[in-house]
Amino acid sequence: MNCSSWVATGADHILRPRLTEPVAIIGATGALGFGLAVRWARAGVPVTIGSRSQERATEAVARARGAVPEGEFDGFENARAAGAAEVVVLSVPFRSQSETLTNLKGALRPGQLVVDTTVPLAAAVSGRATRTLGVWQGSAAQQAQEMVPEGVRVVSALHTVSARTLSDLGHDLDEDVLVCGDDRDDKRRVVGLIDLIDGLRGVDCGRLEMSRLAEGLTPLLISINVRHKTQAGIKITGLP
């Protein structure tokens, strides 16, 4: 994740260091995915925007370039986008998670890392956004792990960051992101990417199965948002 190459970017064509590995975001036309795209791009991360259609991906790239003119973006239909980077962020509603992963079966390849951000809100089946559904595998992240091709590893993260504040580049973030996964190096890689975004800190909170509890924070924060008319996030206290 350190300077591995120099790339010409932006309108001015000035060579600047490529600070990080690129990231592909599946569902980057949604609020969370788009917020991640522009925040990462502003931090120097090359971002591939994935959408269900090439047309919407192209439109989102234009919108992202408007927000971050110096950003390095491209945009493709999800399956092609998923092939564009080693780290693939899955940012789709729970309702579409399973279908999206089925569609990506041929696109993902061994060695890739999927960062699953899905939260099984009961709103997916017309229930409340302050409740979760029980997922057979334990959590949306574990469902993702079951569905990706052999050799693709899943890390779960980014459940507690408000999509709205994330996409508002004028808003100063100051919160933590819980990261769950079974491989320490994978988590370090994802924490490294999260830490690139100003005001976010990635915190390893254990194995992938802990995602069941981390995913539960989203409806809890939604409930807090309703009561306190805010966009709440979380911080872990007591860390070194």
The answer to whether residues 144 and 203 touch, using CB atoms and an 8 Å cutoff, is no
Which is closer to a second copy, CB of 18 or CB of 212? Answer: 212
Whether 187 and 141 have beta carbons less than 8 Å apart is answered as no
Applying CB under 8 A, which of residues 30, 46, 75, 233 lies at the interface with a second copy? 233
Closest contact distance (angstroms) between CB of 33 and a second copy is 21
Tokens at 105, concatenated: 């079966």
Which range, of 13-21, 77-85, 139-147, 171-179, touches a second copy by CB under 8 A? 171-179
**In the numeric block, which tokens belong to residue 53?**
């259609």
| Encoded tokens for 33 | 């995915």
CB of 97 to a second copy, least distance (A): 20
Instruction: Tell me the closest approach of the beta carbon of residue 166 to a second copy, in angstroms.
Output: 12
State the binding string over 83-122 for a second copy (x if CB under 8 A, else -): ----------------------------------------
Q: How far is the CB of 132 from a second copy (least distance, A)?
A: 8
What radius of gyration do the chain's Cα atoms show?
Answer: 17
The Cα–Cα gap between 233 and 175 comes to 6
Q: How far is the CB of 139 from a second copy (least distance, A)?
A: 11
Residue from 131, 153, 188, 201 binding a second copy (CB under 8 A): 131
| Half-sphere exposure in the Cβ direction for 136 (13 Å, CA) | 6
Q: C-alpha distances in angstroms, 209 versus 122, 175, 183, 202, 213?
A: 20, 22, 12, 17, 8
Asked if 226 interacts with a second copy (CB under 8 A), we say: yes
d(CA 177, CA 89): 14
Q: Using CB under 8 A, pick the residue from 32, 178, 193, 196 that binds a second copy.
A: 178
Residue 77 or 204 having the CB closest to a second copy:
204
Binding positions for a second copy, 183-222, rule CB under 8 A: 203-207, 209-210, 212-214, 216-217, 219-221
Other Cβ atoms within 10 Å of 224 Cβ, number: 17
One of 59, 74, 175, 182 touching a second copy (CB under 8 A): 175
Token pair 């390095």 in the structure block, residue: 72
Q: How many CA atoms lie within 13 A of 129 on its CB side?
A: 8
Q: Which residues contact 180 (CB under 8 A, 6 or more apart)?
A: 141, 155, 156, 157, 187, 205, 206, 207, 208, 209, 210, 211, 214
Kindly state the smallest distance separating residue 53's Cβ from a second copy, in Å.
34
**With binding defined as CB under 8 A, does residue 67 bind a second copy?**
no
Q: Where does this chain bind a second copy (CB under 8 A)?
A: 130-132, 162, 165, 174-175, 178, 203-207, 209-210, 212-214, 216-217, 219-221, 223-224, 226-240
